[in-house]
Structure 1
Amino acid sequence: MRRQLLVLLLTIFTSANLCAQSPNPNLLWYTQPATQFEEALPVGNGRIGAMVYGGVKTERLSINESTLWSGGPVNPDMNREAKNYLQPVRDALFKEDYKMADSLVRFMQGKFSESYAPLGNLFIDLNHGDSAFNYRRQLDIRNAVVVTSYEIDQTTYIREVFVSYPAQLIIIKLTASGKNKLAFSCRFNSLLPFRVGRDNDALHMKGNAPIHAEPNYRGNMPDAIRYDNENAMRFSSLVKVLSTDGMQTLRDTSLNVFSATEAVLLVSMGTSFNGFEKNPGKQGLNEGVVARNYLQPATQKDFVSLKQEHIKDFRSFFDRVYFSLGADSLSAVSTIERLNRFAGGASDNGLVSLYYQYGRYLLISSSRPGGIPPNLQGLWNEQVRPPWSSNYTTNINAQMNYWGVETANLSELHRPLLDFIGRLEKTGKVTARNFYNAGGWTCHHNSDIWAMTNPVGDFGQGSPCWANWPMGGAWLATHLWEHFAFSMDTNYLRNQAYPLMKGAVQFCLDFLTKDKKGNLVTAPSTSPENVYITPTGYHGQTLYGGTADHAMIRELFNGF
């Protein structure tokens, strides 16, 4: 009996030891802090997000709110004369006078899109040395938690950061164990006009986005960023201490904690966005009330319950798919080392499966029902003029964000894009009529939170190979059918998908025209972001009957 008990205890101990040491295939981890945006670790809940840098002397969270954009409601009637150039462009194309077509099609352009704006930064300045040992920062993509840990002067410091969907907050826990205690200060800043002050028990930052920000690829130009405090989007962010065993003080520009072994911070954000058709300055929500209302319920809970709610919510999506390509023998190797090895040709199936799951992680973190779809940079941006305006680029990128959504068993996360298509249809009807004398609706190369659908280019300044591409609506509409094919939701098909698909089909039917051989073709057309060379050496951009156009139309028609 004693021997059996001993064997049982040894078995339990060994199993527990193996579990404790078993590798976690869902970790991205590094041995030094991030030094630039691309190295920081992303967390988000579809509405708000942060890039966590994991600094030692100063922690930085670059924070975003998905509805904070420049501009306001778009005027889809911006170029009513555009359709008058449709036939002259077609005549030039069918005469194969491509230079003339490239010149004339520029009269069929409108304004550039607006830009996704950075809300700002939360800095946590830590009052300890900066010579850290045993440094590690990691992102657990199954639990959606970033952990930074290191040792200084016989003290272990640990920070946990996650963005809770149930609480709609960024939650940060700091701990110190060993010789010294925690002492830190929190402060906000932003690249946008802002001011910081005390708001009861919280540090409060408020400001506003630009009324317009030119695309970064236009380079240095006068008034590239313009402000209008009366009409622009406003934002608000709050940070407060949920709990601490130390002391805290709140000053005009900082929130301070000292003599603590642990502290929990809550960060809330809100904007004045009140819908794509409403002026965010004059008809907007009270952004301060929005941020405060998210903050208040969490003050009645503790860190453990907030974290449990967050993990339960996130795993309800993440755990739907398990993907393995064999034992992950390299999980004890840092992510950057694995990437370098893989780039050099070494095999690493564990990294491949991690990469797939990381894609699912990013979509769960940036796309939730009822919210805004992820843009070119998902949910994360820290520039006022970000690359390509961090907008919706519909000649592949907006669709690409969702290519895996159904097969990754995340079907309901498709909803933000599908709802966005419904908003595009409203402005897209005007665009179809004004630019092509067509029914139905369409969308071009770029869009933004205001559901802009016109050809971009600043009324003639854009290159036709991207500015005048007219198939964004047709391609986006294929997502409507794909969601039904996976969900078999007949109410959705009847009330949402079918009417929108019908409008996209109608535009294509009206837009197609006969070429010299009597074939129905798109004209004008482009091969997105490509240039062709004619036998005479002309580098052209506008064409007719583009293969990509016809492929998208066939897919849409087949679904319809």
Structure 2
Amino acid sequence: MRLYLYLIVSVLSICPLGSALAQARVWFDRPAQQWQEALPIGNGRLGAMVYGGVGNEELQFNEETLWTDGPRNYNKKGASKYLQKIRELLDQGQQKEAESLAMQEFMGVKSESEDPTAWLDKIGRIRKQKHGPFEFSFDDSKWPLITVPHYEGWETEGLEGLDGAVWFRYDFNLSKNDLAEHWSLDLNKIRTNDYTYINGELVGQSAGDETRRHYQIPMGLLRTGRNSIAIQVINLEGKGGVAGYKDTKQSIGLKSSTGKLISLNGEWKYHIQDQSSPKIGSYQASYQPFGSLRLQFDHDVAENYSRILDLDKGEVRVNYAFKGVQYTRTYFASQPNNFIGVRLQADQKKKVSFRLALKTKHQRNELNHIADSSICLEAWVKNGSMRGTVFVKLKLKGGQLSYDGDELLVNQADEAQLYLSAATNFKSYQQLDEKYAAVALERFKKLTKLNFDQLYQIHQKDYQRLYHRFVVEFGGVNQLDTIPIDRRLQRAVEHADPGLVALYVQFARYLQIAASREGSQPMNLQGIWNPFLEPSWGSKYTTNINLEMNYWPTEALNLSELQQPLFQMIRDLHVAGAETAKEYYAARGWVLHHNTDLWRGTAPINNSNHGIWPTGGAWLVRHLWEHYLYTQDLHFLKEYYPIIKDATLFFKDFLVKDKVTGWLVSSPSNSPENGGLVKGPTMDHQIIRSLFDIFDQSSKLLVKDVQLRDSIMEMRDQIAPNQIGQHGQLQEWLMDLDDPENKHRHVSHLWGLFPGDEINTTHTPQLVEAAKRSLILRGDEGTGWSLAWKINFWARLKDAQHAYHMVKMLLRPAGQGGGSYPNLFDAHPPFQIDGNFGGASGITEMLLQSHINGIELLPALPEEMSTGKVRGLIARGAFQVNMEWKDNQLLEVTVESLAGEELHLRYASREVKIKTKKGRSYAFDQELKLKK
């Protein structure tokens, strides 16, 4: 697959900040100061963040297939011969031994590594010198400064893409009285190895990200007045630096025996000793940023500034006045023509002047001129097979265009149009395309000949075809739309803002349209927006909830076709996971563990205490089945039936009988990401039962595999059931091990409540109460996506006010815990997009549920959302629902039958069942009486 980025610059009319766009925009009255304040645009293949700077504008852009690594085999040959021994150790209660064996023999294969011994010896020689950076008197006056600590790595402080050896130095002062006390040095965590000196003497050295650095300082080493600390940090892969504490309120520093703390947080001096470190293999690849388009204007202070993400039009606009001239910039991402369009304009002639540059964080890059008005930037991903190319062309109305070195200069134009196109050498997860650049250039040339206005109209038609299917409104006219989004989030902490809740749902729909389109890759942990060479968790596809959560609301919010990228990934994983099933479990079918990437790795990764989790593929099958339930598309079910069947065959071979209980259990596995390697986690059994039910129902619908179906359903009844433990909770594991003080962000054992449905208020009231007890014990706090999951739980439990309380927590300004960044992006922290989609799903569940006994209207409607309306909400059974309510009472509802299925509608104590005809709409009053 070849992906291209086209950027056209131009300007549309200024949009007023009035009520016409109520609930349809996210806006600021100032430029972005950080990435989490920039506004996103995208078309599935291309993502960009608009900062909206007045004098200096940045458009940080990504291309969805620019990743580290390259096509390779992730599977360890013959790993299955250790499976039985791992199971036996778990049966014997020897968890650590099982984890140790699995870590050694049962993990995936890393990418290519080089022996670091010689390099480590070379960079270690400096520590043996008489005079080195560790010396008290060392002259560090010319060293630059960096903020220490940096929990997410020195990459966040500007040292992007740096792996190697770096020295840090800091001076602190002590009094004579201080010297009478015993002192220790608390640095908490360092990424990854350190040699730490006080006044030239080595006081400690450690290895590993998770090792706590707490070093005792010998008496007599410290001195009155100035003292120095020097640290050599050696980082071969991933994030680097002096990490300190995740809670930034807790300082690194010197601690005395009497409890005195001298904080070492602040500006340290640093020197990069060597960044030519050897290649270190990784289990899976990481999503990469591509580059930044920089525009420099001769503007400083702006008046009447606004930066608007217009959800109705699918575009970002920047408006401001400077010296009596009104300037406008418009940015949009077109899916049909695969480009990002931007137009720059002023309301007076000859006022558009700027300087343009292309930048990338990738160390190896090359910039060249093409013709009179174009530049080309090629970038290579470090230690991988991937490379990408960017083409930029400028067109002007009036004015002059010239080169200044690598930059393009525009002077006194009436309007500027900028075309930016990007492509990578990715062809498929199994193959690269080394001829990609020539093809990309030809497509770029063809695009730059097209009319901008026509391209814009095509984009509008395509985007609004999806966006306008659905309307939601809470609380009547949204008067709070005049408040910038960052201040609105702050206000919502103390004041109800139902309009903000509705906006959050539409923002999630916008993000889906922008990040997941036919032919693209599915959304990863950051969607398609990522600024870091070392993104958190590799910005991969985490399949023990996060990838799935990205697509929870897609069907209900009337965006069904946006799941196509996920379905294509499932097809790929079906192939890749078959080899993993064979090599690790000697099983038929296919398997996926808790993570995958662009290259479709399916083997266990990271650590055996959480990476050996075989039910990722089974969970993804649930998405195939949900698509059928929402669409009633039997042709789709027939197409994907082999994938469903093969996932079922894997668990037919994988499940084993527990010697103590006699139940069939999943072993080895874990309850993500809590409690280590175990047998029989509750979540697994819920997912496997769901998978078996899906196979049963789909095989009946397609009249296939009768004998296999019978054997599978016989096994289903032998799987370890849900159990209620000693605290009244739903047990997370086979044994009653739940700790009531455990506040872990994953609540995996409630999968059967949501997104599953075997725990429900209709058929399993006792399990519902146990699930509620588990939620109460686990607590409301959590990371952003965890808060979002809990909205769905409480909505399924029909506790409207608790569900709304979780919505407010998700919408609170991001801090140490989960919440929302100023641009409404979900905060893990750091940014993860899954919470945006999980939150939208939960809000939808508060309005309509269709997983048990037909369609239930307003099952969890809180007081704060007591008035509202929704149009275009989709329910299982292929029904489209429009409804309106006031003062917590339904006023009317209209249901369109999209497939001609029987309609079962419920509201409060009222219920109706009718036969329907495909394409016909049925209107009901508040009593659910059919209108004539």
User: Shorter-chain TM-score: what band?
Assistant: 0.7 to 0.9
Following TM superposition, by how much is the alpha carbon of 1:27 offset from its aligned partner in structure 2, in angstroms?
0.7
Cα gap change, 1:382 to 1:402, in 2 (>3 Å): same
Q: Residue 678 of structure 2: SS of its match in structure 1?
A: coil
2:577 maps to a residue whose letter is G
Among residues 343, 356, 369, which one is paired with 1:198 in the alignment? 369
Q: Residue 439 of structure 1: SS of its match in structure 2?
A: coil
Matched, 1:513 2:648: no
Among residues 288, 291, 296, which one is paired with 2:437 in the alignment? 288
Q: Is the 8 A contact 1:145 1:162 kept in 2?
A: yes
Quote the residue 2:611 is aligned against. 467
Query: What aligned pairs does 1:127-206 form with structure 2 within 5 A after superposition?
Result: 128-178=298-348, 181-192=351-362, 193-200=364-371, 201-206=373-378
Among residues 362, 365, 370, which one is paired with 2:511 in the alignment? 362
Q: Is the 8 A contact 1:74 1:451 kept in 2?
A: no
Q: CA separation in 1, counterparts of 2:357 and 2:503?
A: 35
Q: CA separation in 2, counterparts of 1:404 and 1:174?
A: 36
1:519 maps to a residue whose letter is W
Quote the residue 2:681 is aligned against. 546
Quote the residue 1:217 is aligned against. none
Comparing both chains, which one has the higher relative contact order based on Cα–Cα distances under 8 Å and sequence gaps of 6 or more?
A: 1
Q: CA separation in 2, counterparts of 1:345 and 1:511?
A: 51
Quote the residue 2:534 is aligned against. 385
Following TM superposition, by how much is the alpha carbon of 1:290 offset from its aligned partner in structure 2, in angstroms?
3.8
Q: CA separation in 1, counterparts of 2:543 and 2:528?
A: 17
Q: Residue 88 of structure 1: SS of its match in structure 2?
A: helix
Q: CA separation in 2, counterparts of 1:86 and 1:310?
A: 53
Query: What aligned pairs does 1:117-516 form with structure 2 within 5 A after superposition?
Result: 117-126=288-297, 128-178=298-348, 181-192=351-362, 193-200=364-371, 201-210=373-382, 227=383, 232-250=385-403, 252-278=405-431, 280=432, 284-325=433-474, 326-342=476-492, 344-457=493-606, 462=607, 464-495=608-639, 497-516=640-659
Quote the residue 1:84 is aligned against. 81
Following TM superposition, by how much is the alpha carbon of 1:23 offset from its aligned partner in structure 2, in angstroms?
4.2
Residue-by-residue CA offset, 1:460-511 (whole Å, 9 max, x unaligned): xx2x33211111111111111111222233222222x101111111111111
Quote the residue 1:52 is aligned against. 50
Following TM superposition, by how much is the alpha carbon of 1:179 offset from its aligned partner in structure 2, in angstroms?
8.5
Q: CA separation in 2, counterparts of 1:23 and 1:477?
A: 39
Q: Is the 8 A contact 2:651 2:688 kept in 1?
A: yes
Q: Residue 72 of structure 1: SS of its match in structure 2?
A: coil
Following TM superposition, by how much is the alpha carbon of 1:285 offset from its aligned partner in structure 2, in angstroms?
4.4
Greater per-residue strand proportion: 2
1:400 maps to a residue whose letter is M
Matched, 1:71 2:69: yes
Quote the residue 2:203 is aligned against. none
Matched, 1:42 2:40: yes
Q: CA separation in 2, counterparts of 1:19 and 1:141?
A: 14
Q: CA separation in 1, counterparts of 2:349 and 2:577?
A: 64
Q: Is the 8 A contact 2:423 2:440 kept in 1?
A: yes
Q: CA separation in 1, counterparts of 2:442 and 2:313?
A: 25
Residue-by-residue CA offset, 1:150-172 (whole Å, 9 max, x unaligned): 12222222111111112211111
Q: Is the 8 A contact 1:169 1:294 kept in 2?
A: no
Q: CA separation in 2, counterparts of 1:20 and 1:104?
A: 64
Following TM superposition, by how much is the alpha carbon of 1:549 offset from its aligned partner in structure 2, in angstroms?
0.4
Q: Is the 8 A contact 2:18 2:482 kept in 1?
A: no
Q: Is the 8 A contact 1:50 1:62 kept in 2?
A: yes
Quote the residue 2:670 is aligned against. 526
Cα gap change, 1:476 to 1:234, in 2 (>3 Å): same
Q: Is the 8 A contact 1:238 1:268 kept in 2?
A: yes
- More displaced, 101-110 or 112-121? 101-110
Quote the residue 1:216 is aligned against. none
1:556 maps to a residue whose letter is L
Gaps of 5+ in 2: 1-15, 111-282, 696-932
Q: CA separation in 1, counterparts of 2:521 and 2:454?
A: 27
Gaps of 5+ in 1: 1-17, 211-226, 532-540
Quote the residue 1:113 is aligned against. 284
1:260 maps to a residue whose letter is A
Residue-by-residue CA offset, 1:377-409 (whole Å, 9 max, x unaligned): 001111111110011110111111101111111
Q: CA separation in 2, counterparts of 1:45 and 1:58?
A: 25
Q: CA separation in 1, counterparts of 2:509 and 2:377?
A: 32
Residue-by-residue CA offset, 1:60-113 (whole Å, 9 max, x unaligned): 01111111111111214x412321221111111112222222222212111311
Q: CA separation in 1, counterparts of 2:340 and 2:409?
A: 18
Following TM superposition, by how much is the alpha carbon of 1:49 offset from its aligned partner in structure 2, in angstroms?
1.4
1:90 maps to a residue whose letter is R
1:341 maps to a residue whose letter is R
Cα gap change, 1:161 to 1:235, in 2 (>3 Å): same
Q: CA separation in 2, counterparts of 1:451 and 1:437?
A: 20
Q: Residue 324 of structure 1: SS of its match in structure 2?
A: strand
Q: Residue 323 of structure 1: SS of its match in structure 2?
A: strand
Q: Residue 542 of structure 1: SS of its match in structure 2?
A: strand
Following TM superposition, by how much is the alpha carbon of 1:178 offset from its aligned partner in structure 2, in angstroms?
4.4
**Greater CA radius of gyration, 1 or 2?**
2
Q: Is the 8 A contact 1:198 1:252 kept in 2?
A: no
Q: CA separation in 2, counterparts of 1:470 and 1:74?
A: 21
1:36 maps to a residue whose letter is Q
Cα gap change, 1:158 to 1:404, in 2 (>3 Å): same
Following TM superposition, by how much is the alpha carbon of 1:252 offset from its aligned partner in structure 2, in angstroms?
4.8
Following TM superposition, by how much is the alpha carbon of 1:301 offset from its aligned partner in structure 2, in angstroms?
3.0
Following TM superposition, by how much is the alpha carbon of 1:180 offset from its aligned partner in structure 2, in angstroms?
6.7
Q: CA separation in 1, counterparts of 2:649 and 2:97?
A: 29
- Percent identical pairs in the alignment equals 39
Q: Is the 8 A contact 2:396 2:414 kept in 1?
A: no
Q: Is the 8 A contact 2:305 2:320 kept in 1?
A: yes
1:544 maps to a residue whose letter is K
Cα gap change, 1:94 to 1:21, in 2 (>3 Å): closer
Q: CA separation in 2, counterparts of 1:285 and 1:67?
A: 14
Cα gap change, 1:238 to 1:252, in 2 (>3 Å): farther
Cα gap change, 1:285 to 1:162, in 2 (>3 Å): farther
Measured on the aligned residues, the alpha-carbon RMSD in Å equals: 1.8
Normalised by the length of structure 1, the TM-score is 0.87
Cα gap change, 1:98 to 1:336, in 2 (>3 Å): same
Greater per-residue helix proportion: 1
Q: Is the 8 A contact 1:162 1:170 kept in 2?
A: yes
Residue-by-residue CA offset, 1:192-236 (whole Å, 9 max, x unaligned): 1211111224111111223xxxxxxxxxxxxxxxx25xxx11201
Q: Residue 373 of structure 1: SS of its match in structure 2?
A: coil
1:204 maps to a residue whose letter is C
Normalised by the length of structure 2, the TM-score is 0.53
Q: CA separation in 2, counterparts of 1:446 and 1:306?
A: 38
1:543 maps to a residue whose letter is V
Matched, 1:103 2:100: yes
Q: Is the 8 A contact 1:168 1:294 kept in 2?
A: no
Q: CA separation in 2, counterparts of 1:143 and 1:508?
A: 46
Q: Residue 380 of structure 1: SS of its match in structure 2?
A: coil
Q: Residue 347 of structure 2: SS of its match in structure 1?
A: strand
Q: Is the 8 A contact 1:133 1:151 kept in 2?
A: yes
Q: Residue 91 of structure 1: SS of its match in structure 2?
A: helix
Cα gap change, 1:307 to 1:191, in 2 (>3 Å): same
